[in-house]
């Protein structure tokens, strides 16, 4: 495969991580292939079985394959440099300083470390393509799904990365194998995606901006702990911890599904509303640290890059890691309260999550789902079906209301209040690594 000038620049940035943070990556071989990334036509990948026959054609896209090969070795240099200060500072202190810089600006932080200034400056960079009015429009359109689908689907969606041992191991190493920790992680994830849809959330001093900064720091803290404890991490197998390509699914899944449906309909361009949703997702990903090279703009390009990611990530399911994470997440108590309404919702939500998991990750194979600890009953199917009908009807009503002058603003205010209520249920998101394994601990998939 030829290396183009663009690829050379990307690889130069990848290798520069060694010089930028020698204490973390000084002995990391960025040119050594890792087991997780594969273009072997005989190796199983994470591409869905129904589309496995397309894998050879997907892998023929040399440009994308090489781009994702490089970004499978790329972390988040600005956030990683700041997290590396954990060598001499408490991580709670680093979080407090970051929150202060997000809330008041870097100039309001006395004696701010230069690494913090560089981190904030990276987030403050305005991409040439950014249109905040379009982003706000996209956020408004996303509020309907956030208020009505997310409460039912967040648990099932959260386990997407748990179905692959190469992507799931960092979560296991941060202590997410317990029900309590799993519930906290699900709530934090739901909190982040919900808060970013609120009006002005992604503006410089908005709550979504700060949440994105804290998520980046959390990921970098995991990388720091893995880099300082090499006995926990088989680099030849797992490669670089939490690389940029592993940030793509959560950030792009909505617009990937949108693009996939659009192409199936024979269309090649987004409508104005669809473009707003795409730009909202792209800017949110940019705040999370994803490079523009992983944020395509056209329907086909979005589908292509997500397909290449799935086709190059080797399939692997280790029950001690993946199975434990799935079971802990499914067993976690996400919704507190003893009233009749919350108890009914809790029962429906868990059924919906089980069926969501079955359809999206287990190819409707109930026996395979049961094998990893998720048993789906006839009652689950019935409750999930009823919930699906309610969700569809409610979202349709809000979509219609959004088109009626005078009613549109009232409907949007109602959605904002609903999301505010969800945020109270989710609780305050800390976005920190709560449980640090000792240096002599063994990974769950060792």
Over the stretch 21-69, which tens digit does the pLDDT of each residue have? Answer: 998 999 899 999 999 999 999 999 999 888 889 999 999 999 999 999 9
CA dihedral 145, 190, 187, 411 (to 10 degrees): -40
pLDDT of residue 5: 66
Mean pLDDT of 294-319: 95
Per DSSP, the residues of 252-270 read: HHHHHHHHHHHHHTT--S-
Mean pLDDT of 218-222: 93
pLDDT in tens, 106-124: 999 999 999 999 999 999 9
pLDDT in tens, 191-208: 999 999 999 999 999 999
Three-state DSSP at 338 gives: coil
CA nearest to 244, candidates 78, 357, 85: 78
Which neighbouring-strand residues pair with 314?
A: 45
Q: Report which listed range, 291-295, 370-374, 423-427, is most confident.
A: 291-295
Q: Is the Cβ–Cβ distance between 199 and 348 less than 8 Å?
A: no
CA nearest to 183, candidates 346, 321, 322, 334: 334
pLDDT in tens, 374-403: 899 999 999 999 999 999 999 999 999 999
Residue 404 CB contacts under 8 Å (≥ 6 apart), including other chains: none
pLDDT of residue 144: 97
Confidence bin at 440 (pLDDT 50/70/90) = very low
Asked if the model's pLDDT at residue 435 lies above 50, the reply is no
Per DSSP, the residues of 100-137 read: HHHHH-GGGSTT--HHHHHHHHHHH---TT--HHHHHH
Higher-confidence position of 37 and 186: 37
Confidence bin at 372 (pLDDT 50/70/90) = confident
Mean pLDDT of the chain: 90
Angle separating helix axes 150-158 and 132-148, nearest 10 degrees: 90
Per DSSP, the residues of 264-318 read: HTT--S--HHHHHHHHHHHHHHHHTT--GGG---SHHHHHHHHHHHHHHBB----
Percent of the chain with pLDDT over 90: 70
Mean pLDDT of 328-336: 85
Q: Burial of 424 by CB count in 10 Å (0-12 exposed, 13-18 middle, 19+ buried)?
A: exposed
Asked if the model's pLDDT at residue 3 lies above 90, the reply is no
pLDDT in tens, 77-97: 999 999 999 999 998 999 999
pLDDT of residue 178: 62
Q: Burial of 50 by CB count in 10 Å (0-12 exposed, 13-18 middle, 19+ buried)?
A: exposed
Residue 435 CB contacts under 8 Å (≥ 6 apart), including other chains: 174, 175, 181
Confidence bin at 4 (pLDDT 50/70/90) = low
Mean pLDDT of 275-282: 98
pLDDT of residue 433: 38
From residue 186, give the alpha-carbon distance in Å to each of 144, 154, 158, 435.
20, 7, 7, 16
Confidence bin at 171 (pLDDT 50/70/90) = confident
pLDDT of residue 177: 57
Confidence bin at 159 (pLDDT 50/70/90) = confident
Instruction: Quote the pTM value.
Output: 0.90
């Amino acid at each position: 495969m030829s290396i183009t000038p663009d690829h050379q620049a990307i690889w130069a940035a990848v290798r520069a991580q060694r010089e930028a943070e020698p204490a973390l990556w000084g002995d990391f071989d960025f040119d050594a292939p890792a087991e997780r990334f594969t273009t072997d036509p005989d190796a199983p990948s994470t591409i869905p079985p129904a589309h496995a026959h397309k894998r050879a054609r997907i892998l023929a896209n040399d440009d994308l394959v090489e781009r994702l090969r490089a970004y499978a070795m790329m972390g988040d240099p600005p956030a990683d440099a700041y997290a590396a200060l954990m060598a001499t500072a408490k991580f709670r202190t680093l979080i407090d300083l970051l929150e202060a810089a997000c809330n008041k600006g870097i100039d309001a932080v006395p004696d701010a470390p230069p690494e913090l200034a560089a981190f904030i400056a990276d987030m403050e960079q305005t991409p040439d393509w950014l249109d905040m009015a379009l982003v706000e429009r996209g956020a408004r359109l996303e509020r309907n799904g956030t208020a009505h689908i997310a409460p039912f689907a967040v648990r099932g969606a959260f386990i997407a990365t748990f179905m692959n041992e190469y992507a799931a191991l960092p979560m296991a190493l941060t202590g997410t194998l317990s029900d309590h920790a799993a519930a906290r992680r699900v709530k934090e994830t739901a909190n982040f995606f919900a808060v970013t849809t609120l009006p002005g959330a992604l503006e410089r001093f908005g709550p979504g901006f700060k949440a994105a900064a804290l998520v980046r720091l959390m990921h970098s803290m995991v990388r720091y702990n893995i880099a300082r404890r090499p006995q926990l991490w088989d680099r030849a197998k797992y490669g670089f911890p939490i690389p940029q390509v592993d940030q793509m699914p959560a950030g792009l899944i909505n617009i990937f599904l949108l693009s996939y449906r659009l192409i199936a309909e024979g269309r090649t361009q987004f409508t104005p509303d669809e473009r707003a949703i795409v730009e909202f997702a792209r800017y949110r990903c940019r705040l999370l640290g994803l490079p523009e090279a992983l944020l395509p703009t056209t329907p086909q390009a979005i589908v292509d890059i997500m397909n290449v990611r799935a086709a190059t990530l080797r399939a692997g399911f280790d029950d001690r890691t993946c199975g434990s994470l799935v079971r802990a997440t499914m067993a976690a108590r996400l919704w507190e309260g003893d009233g009749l309404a919350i108890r009914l919702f809790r029962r429906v939500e868990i059924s919906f999550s089980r069926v969501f998991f079955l359809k999206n990750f287990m190819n409707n194979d109930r026996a395979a789902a049961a094998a990893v600890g998720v048993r789906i009953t006839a009652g689950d199917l019935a409750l999930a079906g009823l919930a699906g009908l309610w969700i569809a009807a409610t979202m349709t009503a809000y979509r219609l209301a959004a088109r009626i002058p005078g009613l549109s603003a009232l409907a949007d205010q109602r959605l904002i209040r609903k999301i505010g209520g969800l945020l109270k249920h989710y609780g305050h998101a800390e976005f920190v690594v709560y449980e640090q394994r000792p240096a002599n601990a063994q990974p769950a998939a060792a």
